[in-house]
Amino acid sequence: MVTYVVLANFTDQGIRNAKESPKRADAFKQMAKTFGVTVKDLFWTQGRYDVVTIVEAPDESSAMSLSLSLGALGNVRTESLRAFSAAEMTAVVGKMI
């Protein structure tokens, strides 16, 4: 599985309908399942980003399909960051020259 930290900001449409955000989050979790993606955590945040989500996807293609499908709904714009666990990072640095 591939882990991503997904940073999201409300669009104008999304902020106008902020009261629906918890329901949209539930719908997002269901949408993610259709791509084989698991939503591990989802937080509403203060500061630069409005929502921070941790997801696990079977591959990059599944994560991208979910991201594009979410963006097409028009409520948020996202930035996805590939995340590495300590074990994965140990393997990565183990390959360094």
Dihedral sign, Cα of residue 4, residue 7, residue 13, residue 15:
positive
Tell me the pTM: 0.92
Secondary structure letter of residue 64 according to DSSP: H
Written as one letter, the residue type at 21 is S
Written as one letter, the residue type at 15 is I
**Dihedral Cα 7, 26, 15, 6, nearest 10 deg:** 10
What is the domain count for the chain? 1
pLDDT in tens, the chain (97 residues): 999 999 999 999 999 999 999 999 999 999 999 999 999 999 999 999 999 999 999 999 999 999 999 999 999 999 999 999 999 999 999 999 9
**Which of 21, 20, 17, 30 has the alpha carbon at shortest distance from 51?**
21
- What backbone phi and psi angles, to 5 degrees, belong to 73? -70, -20
Supply the range of the domain harboring residue 26: 2-94
